[in-house]
């Protein structure tokens, strides 16, 4: 909890407070967000549909056919 208990004369308490004010700085942090995606054969077809791809023909195994 970052607790510091000090018992001393007022002059030393002031010195310690000043020192703590100098040393007590927040630690820089980084937030990382991630997503795990498992890609399968149907994933590419779903991805194409999400991006609005159209006009493509596929055979029953999902391979693109040239037009």
One digit per residue, pLDDT tens: the chain, 67 residues?
788 999 999 999 999 999 999 999 888 999 999 888 777 766 666 666 555 555 667 777 777 776 5
**Per-residue tokens: 15:** 């010195």
pLDDT at site 47:
62
pLDDT at site 22:
93
pLDDT at site 45:
66
Domain assignment present for 1: no
Cα separation values, 34 from 37, 40, 62, 64, Å: 10, 19, 29, 31
**Residue whose pair of structure tokens reads 């820089």 in the numeric block:** 28
Cα separation values, 64 from 3, 48, 54, 57, Å: 65, 12, 12, 6
pLDDT at site 58:
75
Domain assignment present for 21: yes
Quote the domain boundaries for residue 54. 10-65
Cα separation values, 33 from 5, 29, 52, Å: 38, 13, 26
pLDDT at site 32:
92
What pTM value is reported for the model?
0.40
Domain assignment present for 5: no
**Counted domains in the chain:** 1
């Amino acid at each position: 909890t970052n607790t510091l208990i000090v018992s001393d004369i007022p002059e030393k308490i002031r010195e310690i407070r000043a020192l703590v004010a100098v040393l007590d700085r927040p630690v820089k942090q980084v937030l990382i967000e991630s997503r795990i995606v498992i890609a399968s054969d149907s994933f590419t077809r779903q991805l194409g549909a999400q991006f609005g791809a159209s006009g493509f023909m596929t055979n029953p195994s999902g391979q693109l056919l040239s037009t």
